[in-house]
Amino acid sequence: SKMRERERAEVKRLLWSTMKGFASVTRTTKVATCVGGAQRSGRSTAKRLVTRAKVREIFMPALSSTMTEGKIVSWLKGSGEKITKGESIVVVESDKADMDVETFYDGYIGSIVVPDGATAAVGEPIAYIAETEAELEEAKSKSGGGGAPAAAAAEPEPEAPAAPPAEAAAPAPAAPAPAPAAPAPAPVKRADGRVIATPYAKKLAKELGVDLSTLGGSGPNGRITASDVELAKSGGAPPAAPPASTPAATPAAPAAASSPPAKKAAPAAAAPSGDGEVVPFTGMQAAVSSNMIASLEIPVSRVAYTITTDAFDALYKKLKPKGVTMTALLSKAVAVALTKHPIMYAACTPAGDGIIYNENINIAVAVAMPDGGLITPVLQNADKTDIYQLSRNWGDLVTRARGKQLAPDEYSTGTFTISNLGMYGVDKFDAILPSGTGTIMAVGGSKPTVVATADGKIGVEKQMTINLTTDHRIIYGADAAEFCQTLKAVIENPDDLTM
């Protein structure tokens, strides 16, 4: 699809920009031509390009402008496997999405430095590529030795139990204890029933005819990886993994029972010292946390405004059977109002010394992710797109956002943000302004309200409250109030939104 092609093009562009400064592709040897054994001075100096077989590094790419580190979801190629230029070799989780990363070289995967589930900073090596099979050993040695870490990890285990040899045979059961820890990433089904898989796993499942809904995932948060699909096709691990975890727990019980004095004492002391289990942030949660901290440096002002929605709700009721969503309709109304207030979708310069007037009205809408964090898919040029196409675009964006398949420009180019909690029954709330933007609008639910009519009688109208949070360095209270007046007029007389 065109969207997928654009996503691949964007990833390639970002990958090239990341790798430019890290590794040279060829070595150039300048050779001076000689006549009769003597170098000819001044004139013909020939330059010859010599390309030598070598070991290259694969670096953690920058998949977005805000990405500082990435997490390896799964390697699509293993150590020693042949790879070709343009082939996807690894799936990387950035702060907002999962991306297939392609190789720029032909060769062989020499060694993998950062395994599945591990993270690395942007620009750090995650693997080494050998140009020919002859360089495989050199590539493996560059990673510090594939087997060394395993051996080093195995040795401390006997060391720890060796300290209390006098305390009977407790260390003996302790040695097998690390063994069950190795198969920890057993495939498990997600509690919410959703099927989440890496892009390559989906492609592989389609080719092999494997139903992803029947599989458990061994990746983070139950994500299905390519290896899960391959094992399912061969009749292997995914179905058998749940039973495997049960026996693993069974030997642990006797081990604990055989050494109640020594082993039970430590957990008992540790339990009161903590308030509960510590779960590390996902990549997306870490990005949200970092962005929220950055937003605290922005001086903001807030304005609340009440809008009558009877006509707007009636229009939505009429358009809903045609596929129009409330999010798209509200975004369209906001975009139409913004055309008269350019300052409301402007931003302050990074140095804080000027105003960036954005050319396009791109409405970013906050969406909660099922496994934690949130993302803001962007409805590009919402003022110029008709309501029906806008609704189709929104449906596609949400589907791919929850599968972590958005391209960077589909979640990072918003010039005005909407956060809507009205569907949860929330009346009003304040939203936190994302850094790099000028305004975020928090939308509460619409509810019947008793009001005084123009003729002095009592009536009932459906009303909702919006709360604007703005960057007060560039947007003042009067600017926000004038925008609210325009938006009120658009929502209370919404017929033009369908044109």
**Which H/E stretch holds residue 450?**
strand 447-452
Helix, strand, or coil (residue 219)? coil
Residue 319: other Cβ atoms inside 10 A: 20
Of the candidates 164, 155, 157, the one whose C-alpha atom is nearest the C-alpha of residue 259 is 164
C-alpha span between 201 and 33 (Å, rounded)? 55
Tokens for 86, please give them.
């343009």
C-alpha span between 220 and 188 (Å, rounded)? 10
Please list the helix, strand and coil fractions of the chain in percent, rounded to the nearest 5, in that order.
40, 20, 40
Residue type, 125: P
Tokens for 242, please give them.
């749940």
Helix, strand, or coil (residue 303)? strand
End-to-end, the C-alpha distance of the chain in Å comes to 28
**Is-catalytic flag, 472?**
yes
C-alpha span between 491 and 257 (Å, rounded)? 68
C-alpha span between 149 and 118 (Å, rounded)? 14
C-alpha span between 26 and 52 (Å, rounded)? 7
- Of 472, 473, 480, 483, the active-site residue reads 472
Cα separations (Å) of 92 from 9, 88, 189, 334, 343? 16, 11, 21, 35, 37
Helix, strand, or coil (residue 301)? strand
Active site members: 472
